[in-house]
Structure 1
């Protein structure tokens, strides 16, 4: 009996019961043999050793029982494990695992955890957990108690997400692990949709940014956030991952996945940056891969990417060539043409996109240099039919009456360049084709419509194109020659010389090699090193002659008859209580532009920043006429000034920065006017920075025109160091013309007010309306003759309900607008006004919601319209381009988009009315021409202003609405007078109106 009741049987029964019982303590210490065992360990609060064992098993992808388990493959078991890792393990062990990462080795538990979560399921689980915690954090104000650990958990999850997505091959690895066991297309298709939605839809950015915002609330500890919360950095990361994917051998079998991801990423708001990163990474060495990427896209997406590549080539490589078509520019243009040709390959659809880019009404690189058009035409010219198509479409468009009348001149200049370049290529490919085109009615109508154009610049382009093409086909006396001085000057010869340009397709590597050399220039020569004299062991004996410096003791000093002086007062540098904070080595004022740039870049040094801001205006103005310092560094200096942040809260920071930019514009108007206009539309800047660009454009133009403005210097004088006394100098430097003003500009030091442009606008408005108000007040009684009622009483009385009668008020004389030299007026038109209006027209037709959202921000839109009006006023009535300026601004003010944004927005409405009033005032001497050339537009403006006037209140009160109504009344009076005086010349143009 004793043998039957041995302890062995009792022990085995107990062991059997223990195996069936889920005892957490024993399971946590046992080594897991399968994924299920690992899941059980993770679910029951394992200790650190058990966690490390489970993570090692899951990361290895091997187990003893199931024959192999891959946690990165989608499945129910992997989803459960990932959920436990994200919600329980990461919050508890994250800090400990990071400390035990062992320098980032692949065998560390930290890397094992990241490997387990590096999958579609893992990233999704982190995002789901982030959303849940964010919702719980947001619910605090709704009567729900908030856990104190939410901020800490959010911070851990953000850090976890940042590490999981780290690396340029992350996306590729996640896709490969997810599809490794899938062979059926039916299973891969839904996975592709989930994959693209996860990484390309913006979920990662939005949830990360929202979580970072919750973490960095004032009640929580500070956190700088992580890079996935920044859309710009996330787009750059995706671009690098797509490049790595394309470079892999498996890219061709996964075209649908990465092409859809690329298209989806284009919608994140930084499409140009994404294309640029992919293009620059692929084209220099693996140009075929970029072609594969384009061929995988839909036609609309191909067009968008190709046009973005052209813009990148132009801005980063070709714009610095300027308008030169000399031999020195050919190598870079040939390299750019090679890049475009390699991308196109033999794809005819891509070639058709290039033809469209050259001939579309808003294309051909509007606002860019001619280099990109030369490169594109060099590629298109390889196919005879394509270049002939470009020429035919260009001629047809160039002579269209509506195009001549309504397109900005800058746009017409671009298409004139395309026409001339394509004509040269077509003549060399097929002379008979160009000859036939010039004998056709289309060509004759083109020249006829150009010569009859109302704008002088449009006629000039027509004459230049006519003489250039006739010079190719006709010989001897048959050549067309208008015998005009403009066509034989430098600009006319440059246009006509475009027909002789013949660029070839070169080597693509040259383009990027030259760019690398530019970014990392080699030293011009070996710097000379001054040899120091050897130091002797014993000090040399001093010579006996000359001065001898001898140190005297205090006792010896008492015997001398030396006068004593009181201790000097403490200076500003010693005013600080803490002697360690006193800066003895303060920087000296920069005397060269390169020193100024160095100071502006040093954003961590308060003294340098303040000194750079205060010395920039006088330094730029002194250096403007001496050497090429300013011209060589103007763009870099302007970029630094625009992007400068007020990190140290410097007094009058905005005013000092604006003074520096105005000085740049005045010093290099021809270069910086178009540059600032381009920056306003294309630069990645805030609303306040874009507004600063408009302000300095308006103020700089007025200073160039010679109007009295605040002096933007902050110290110093003219460049010569020896100057006459101030009273004597004033006798010789009396500012009677703009050039004299520039010399004496630095003698009177006045600050630039922060609302300088608004002040100018109000001053001009008062000047425009004063004669009308005085005339209208003649019949009024009472002391307050400038009230709105005295100004509008006759207007409302005459208008009535039918609006059939017009008001005519006799103006009292007022000072005439200053006439400025035609050269300055032409400069304001070509370098300031035309780039702003042309890019606005291009933005109206842009498909980018970001561009339209920025442009039609109410404050920016009103400031933009006022800037254009001030440019017209600064040009004055004597400018030869006044008809073109008036027509372009008038049509912008009457455009549907602008008037739609004026509804319910008084500042925009006021800006439109100010624009009309300015144009009417400047065109006072040519009102007849205005009514005859733009009869429909004048009547349309009158009807719109009348509607605005009737829709505004104001009455006798004050305020913004009353001011706008008074401005509308002034515009309406001017329009009514013009229409009543010249209604007969408008009859022909108004047939069928309305």
Structure 2
């Protein structure tokens, strides 16, 4: 009945049952529904509000002659706007609509909050590749990219580090011998590369960083190696970072000594000067000049050979002709003329003389082995002093702990790097007098004396013992090759004899079946081979110089 009356009213017809008073048969509910149908909802009010606003915009665009009509409608419009505002406020204050309470046991994950969405948006891992980072042109720019001071939530941090680590080796090798730019920025680049961590899981991160460190050592041997050695003995680096330092010293030294090294990830053509070239076909076409082509080389050889033959024939025939002999005897020797030499010509000739490249023999003692061995002795003294000061405590300090330099794994790598450096420096001027005795003393000390006062650390690890014996073999072999072992045997007899006795004792214990901590398998084979090598080399040296060696008994 209620629906029929409402439909008839909306269609313009009249229908009234007239029986809506009272409280029986759902009449109160019917009266409430009728009241709701007669009231205006929010959407209708908002629609009327939009209509009024559009009418105001149209009126504003009318010509000036319609200003009177606009003033006449102003009162009506203001009244309508006031009614709409009041109606909207009434509906906005309605708190009857509330959200459903979420079920804590629901299997669906909760929706992220606005703060979580903001953090996700700032995550650098999700912004990789969005904005291209320019490649560095100068080494100062490269150092700034490696040691960025940007905010932690910088979305371009991953891109910047990836570009910097990819271009580092190529840019460093290009700057070699090109002014003082590399020398001024080498130490800063060392600090930046060593402090890097692969926080964004970049591809080939370790290989690219290792290549950049190798390039720094090889291209700037006066600045980079001392900085790396100084950083190695600090305690804020991990084992992986320490291995990168030692590998850089070893591979950079071999590159300076022109010894075989693993191939670089950067092609040599990309680091040669000039950096910009013609296409390969045109470059090969215009590279040789007229004097260096095949015909020019042949002509130059013919000229030299013919001139040499003429000079030899002239000298041989002059002694056979009497006139030439008499003229030579009677010839008055002309006094030598004094010619003025311009200082400008000397400066130009000095500038045009190509600069001699630095080799490893020139820098081995001062920048590689000398600082490394001296800094290790200072570090060992400090560590043992610290252990002695805390020995009375319940939890005393141990310098051979995991991740520290005196840990067997790191110490074996350090001795291996020293062995590589000694082998590459055998032709250095200070090798026989300084480098060889210092290296042999280092091997003998670390192989015979405990590094810590703790009982569990007094027994030698097989890896450390093998590294010490291999270092001794390389040192004695180099001395035998250079001067037959004369300087080492006569001036450092105690070291030679002590090394032989130590290696002989180790070899005897191994032959009797003694077990070394960390030995077995391939490591045991290496240990026996190194000990036997030291025994053989010491016997060869002492057999040559035994009559001249001072008795140490």
TM-score (norm 2): 0.53
Counterpart-to-counterpart distance in 1, 2:409 and 2:535: 25
**2:370 is matched with which residue?**
834
Name which of 935, 938, 948 aligns with 2:493: 935
1:650 maps to which residue? 202
Equivalences for 1:291-310 in 2 at 5 Å? none
CA distance, structure 2, for counterparts of residue 675 and residue 825 of structure 1 = 19
Conservation of the 8 A alpha-carbon contact between 2:129 and 2:159? no
Equivalent of residue 718 in structure 1, options 247, 272, 282 = 272
Match of 1:451 in 2: none
Output aligned runs, 1:475-490, within 5 Å: none
Alignment of 1:175-574 (within 5 A): none
**Matching residue within 117, 121, 141 for 1:595:** 141
Q: 1:969 to 1:845 in 2, by over 3 A?
A: same
Deviations 1:85-144 (A, max 9, x none): xxxxxxxxxxxxxxxxxxxxxxxxxxxxxxxxxxxxxxxxxxxxxxxxxxxxxxxxxxxx
The answer to whether the 8 Å contact 1:822/1:879 transfers is: no
Distance (Å, rounded) in 2 between the aligned partners of 1:695 and 1:599:
24
Q: Secondary structure at the match of 1:952?
A: helix
Deviations 1:159-199 (CA, angstroms, capped at 9, x unpaired): xxxxxxxxxxxxxxxxxxxxxxxxxxxxxxxxxxxxxxxxx
Assess, with a 3 A threshold, how the Cα gap between structure 1 residues 707 and 851 changes in structure 2: closer, same or farther: farther
Query: Following the alignment from structure 2 to structure 1, what is the Cα–Cα distance between the partners of residues 357 and 470?
Result: 25
**Does the residue aligned with 2:135 lie in a helix, a strand or coil?**
coil
Distance 1:888 1:581, change over 3 A: closer
The separation in 2 between residues aligned to 1:977 and 1:626, in whole angstroms, is 48
Structure 1 pair 622/822, CA: closer, same or farther in 2 (3 Å)? closer
CA distance 1:611–1:985, shift in 2 (3 Å): same
Could you tell me which residue of structure 2 aligns to residue 686 of structure 1?
Answer: 238
Instruction: Work out whether residues 214 and 249 of structure 2, in 8 Å CA contact, stay in contact via their aligned partners in 1.
Output: yes
> 1:856 and 2:406 equivalent?
yes
Structure 1 residues 628 and 599, CA gap change in structure 2 (3 angstroms) = same
Tell me if structure 2 keeps the 8 A contact 1:910–1:967.
Answer: yes
Using the alignment, how far apart are the partners of 2:532 and 2:358 within structure 1?
33
Match for 1:875 among 412, 415, 425? Answer: 425
Q: What are the Cα deviations for residues 183-223 of structure 1, in whole angstroms up to 9, with x where unaligned? A: xxxxxxxxxxxxxxxxxxxxxxxxxxxxxxxxxxxxxxxxx
Residue segments in structure 2 that go unaligned for 5+ positions in a row: 1-125, 289-355, 388-396, 452-457, 514-519
Aligned to 1:909: 465
- Give me the whole-angstrom Cα distance separating, in 2, the residues matched to 1:898 and 1:691: 25
Match of 1:891 among 436, 441, 444: 441
CA distance, structure 2, for counterparts of residue 962 and residue 982 of structure 1? 31
1:932 and 1:723 map into 2 onto residues whose CA distance is 61
Answer yes or no: is the 8 Å Cα contact 2:255–2:261 preserved in 1: yes
How many Å separate the matches in 2 of 1:885 and 1:844? 19
Q: In 2, distance between residues paired with 1:892 and 1:583?
A: 50
Q: What's the TM-score once normalised by structure 1's chain length? A: 0.30
Match of 2:96 in 1: none
Q: 1:944 deviation in Å?
A: 0.5
Q: Structure 1: how far apart are the matches of 2:541 and 2:259?
A: 28
- When the two chains are superposed, the root-mean-square deviation of aligned CA atoms in Å is 3.0
Match of 1:703 in 2: 255
SS in 2 for 1:627: coil
Contact kept in structure 2, 1:617 and 1:663, CA below 8 Å: yes
Displacement of 1:910 after TM fit?
A: 1.1
> Contact between 1:954 and 1:961, CA under 8 Å: does it hold in 2?
no
Matched, 1:824 2:387: no
Match of 1:641 in 2: 193
- Structure 1's 878 and 830: CA in aligned 2 closer, same or farther, altered over 3 A? closer
Contact 1:953 / 1:961 at 8 angstroms: preserved in 2?
no
Give the corresponding residue for 1:990: 551
CA contact (8 A) 1:663 1:712 kept: no
Check the 8 A contact 2:217/2:252 in 1, yes or no: yes
Question: What corresponds to 2:43 in structure 1?
Answer: none
Query: 1: distance between equivalents of 2:211 and 2:359?
Result: 24
> Are 1:980 and 2:533 an aligned pair?
no
Q: CA deviation at 1:582?
A: 7.7
Residue 880 of structure 1: how far off its partner (Å)? 3.6
CA 1:848/1:659 → structure 2, altered by over 3 Å: closer, same or farther?
farther
Post-superposition Cα deviations, 1:387-428, rounded to whole Å, max 9, x if no partner, equal xxxxxxxxxxxxxxxxxxxxxxxxxxxxxxxxxxxxxxxxxx
How many Å apart are 1:834 and its aligned residue? Answer: 0.4
Pair 1:677–1:945, CA change in 2 (3 A) = same
Query: What is the match of residue 951 of structure 1?
Result: 509
**Corresponding residue number in structure 1 for 2:477:** 921
Deviation at 1:724, TM superposition (A): 7.7
Residue 845 of structure 1 and its aligned partner are, at CA, apart by: 2.2
Q: 1:691: how far off?
A: 2.4
In the TM superposition, residue 969 of structure 1 has moved relative to its aligned partner by 1.2
> Who is 1:359 aligned against?
none
What CA deviation, in whole Å up to 9, does each residue of 1:427-461 have, x standing for no partner? xxxxxxxxxxxxxxxxxxxxxxxxxxxxxxxxxxx
Greater alpha carbon shift after TM alignment, 645-654 vs 843-852:
843-852
Q: Counterpart of 1:848 in 2: which secondary structure?
A: helix
Cα distance change, pair 597–822 in 1 and its aligned pair in 2 (3 A)? closer
| Closer, same or farther: CA 583–981 of 1 in aligned 2, 3 Å | closer
Q: Of the two structures, which has the highest relative contact order with CA contacts closer than 8 Å and spacing of 6 or more?
A: 2
CA-to-aligned-CA distance 1:769-796 (integer Å, 9 cap, x gap): xxxxxxxxxxxxxxxxxxxxxxxxxxxx
Distance in 1 between residues matched to 2:198 and 2:511, nearest whole Å: 41
State the 1:843 CA deviation.
2.0
Structure 2: how far apart are the matches of 1:939 and 1:723? 63
Distance in 1 between residues matched to 2:386 and 2:188, nearest whole Å: 27
User: CA offset at residue 668 of structure 1?
Assistant: 1.5
Three-state SS of the structure 1 residue aligned to 2:222 is: helix
Whichever of the two has the greater Rg, that structure is 2
User: Residue 585 of structure 1 corresponds to which residue in structure 2?
Assistant: 131
Partner Cα separation in structure 1 for residue 197 and residue 278 of structure 2:
36
Q: Distance in 1 between matches of 2:544 and 2:528?
A: 24
Shift in Å, 1:598: 2.9
Q: CA shift at 1:934, angstroms?
A: 1.4
Deviation at 1:898, TM superposition (A): 6.0
Deviation string 1:325-349 (CA, Å, 9 cap, x unpaired) is xxxxxxxxxxxxxxxxxxxxxxxxx
Q: Which runs of 5+ in 1 are unaligned?
A: 1-579, 733-819
1:590 is displaced (CA, Å) by 1.7
CA 1:898–1:675 in structure 2 vs 1: closer, same or farther (change >3 Å)? Answer: farther
Q: Is the 8 A contact 1:903 1:909 kept in 2?
A: no
| Residue equivalent to 2:532 | 969
Maintained 8 Å contact 1:705/1:874: yes
1:722-773 CA-to-partner distances (Å, cap 9, x unmatched) read: 16849959x99xxxxxxxxxxxxxxxxxxxxxxxxxxxxxxxxxxxxxxxxx
Which whole-Å CA distance do the structure 1 matches of 2:428 and 2:179 have between them?
33
Matched-pair contact (CA < 8 Å) for 2:360–2:424: no
**Cα distance change on mapping 1:875 and 1:627 into 2, 3 Å:** same
Distance in 2 between the 1:676 and 1:623 partners? 20
CA distance in 1, matches of 2:527, 2:447: 20
| CA-to-aligned-CA distance 1:13-54 (integer Å, 9 cap, x gap) | xxxxxxxxxxxxxxxxxxxxxxxxxxxxxxxxxxxxxxxxxx
- Please state how far the C-alpha of 1:943 moved relative to its aligned partner: 0.8
Distance 1:985 1:663 in 2: 46
Per-residue deviation at 1:981?
2.4
